[in-house]
Amino acid sequence: MFRGSEILVRNLARAALIGLALMPALVYSFVKYTAAQQMASDDARVQAQRAGHVIAENPDAWKYATERFTDQIAEIRHDGTHTTLTDAAGNVLVHLGEKCTVCITGSAPLMDFGRVVGTLRVDIDVAPVLSRGALTGSFGLLIGLLLMNLLNRHVLIPLERIKIANLELAFYDSLTGLPNRRLLMDRISHALSSSSRSGKVGALLFVDLDYFKTINDVHGHDIGDLLLQQVAQRLEFCVREGDTVSRLGGDEFVVMLEDLSVDANAAAAQAKTVGEKMLAALDQPYQFDKHRFHCSASIGVTLFDGRKFPIDELLKQSDIAMYQSKKAGRNTLSFFDTKMHMSTADRA
């Protein structure tokens, strides 16, 4: 919904720029067109009055006084207009001026003592007006496109970059680029709903580096940060595209595996295979310039299915299992079971 509204606002902004750029051409064409309409009407009325003088002078033979009509009308006719005089039967008596391409027409009756005896029509060619309007419009459109490009480059694109940066700050870890705790919680929530529908089991693997604090203290935070970045890369290499690798903070990572087997034992075996793959990857040496390190990890695993468990409880279970791995000598993997929870509660 928000994304759709944002796109609408952007398109409206672009349309407004184009509209503003085309406004001079539209105003020019409207003013000239309106003026031509008024001019055609006024010319027809004035020329009809002039023609009325000829009719009054020749009440019996006015239809044959075409030269006289022409002289009378030519004195007041504007350039670019075409005048046609017809009698009451529609017979054309006088043509004056060039015929127009695109016409605006004004007409007035020819009167003889209150009786309509013919019609005088004035046509004004507005093709030049339309051509100039189109030329102005093309120029305006070019200006509009230029303004729209400037809007994109200096307003919309920077705003989009700021939005993306804010989104990354809100949902991703700035050091490793992995999803942070906030995004992880959201994905776990979706995974629980999906598991409830499909019946497939999922797993959370809590990963904690062994002796990371010692490396960080002895060699400095820069080396520690490089180590965490490589750990993130190695963990991502161990999982499928649809799985989630996240960093909670410090040297703690959580990996979520979705769509494992519908059978809990089979799902546990799948999670164990991935966990062992991660242990092997993290136990490989780390090389930073002249520095070479070993830094293993301890992993705790808990399974989840469609049953409604609080997300914090699932994370707590995987954390408890991870500490069981620490207790077992580190660089190993342990699954959570209720006995662990009871033992932890007893100690508390």
Three-class secondary structure assignment of the chain? CHHHHHHHHHHHHHHHHHHHHHHHHHHHHHHHHHHHHHHHHHHHHHHHHHHHHHHHHCCCCHHHCHHHHHHHHHCCCCCCEEEEEEECCCCEEEEECCCCCCEEEEEEEEEECCEEEEEEEEEEECHHHHHHHHHHHHHHHHHHHHHHHHHHHHHHHHHHHHHHHHHHHHHECCCCCCECHHHHHHHHHHHHHHHHHHCCCEEEEEEEECCHHHHHHHHCHHHHHHHHHHHHHHHHHHCCCCCEEEEEECCEEEEEECCCCCCHHHHHHHHHHHHHHHHHHHCCCEEECCEEECCCEEEEEEEECCCCCCHHHHHHHHHHHHHHHHHCCCCCEEECCHHHHHHHHHHC
Instruction: Say if domain 2-128 classifies as CATH 3.30.450.
Output: yes
- pLDDT reported for residue 130: 65
* 89-103, 151-165, 297-311: the lowest-pLDDT one: 151-165
- pLDDT reported for residue 56: 72
Residue 165 has pLDDT above 70, yes or no: no
The mean predicted confidence, pLDDT, of the chain is 80
More reliable by pLDDT, 220 or 256: 256
Residue 140 has pLDDT above 80, yes or no: no
Looking at domain 181-347, its CATH architecture is 2-Layer Sandwich (3.30)
Q: What is the pLDDT of residues 55-109, one digit of tens each?
A: 777 766 666 667 777 776 776 666 667 777 777 777 877 777 777 777 778 888 8
The model carries a pTM of: 0.56
Question: Looking at the chain, which residues constitute the CATH 3.30.450 domain(s)?
Answer: 2-128
Question: Looking at the chain, which residues constitute the CATH 3.30.70.270 domain(s)?
Answer: 181-347
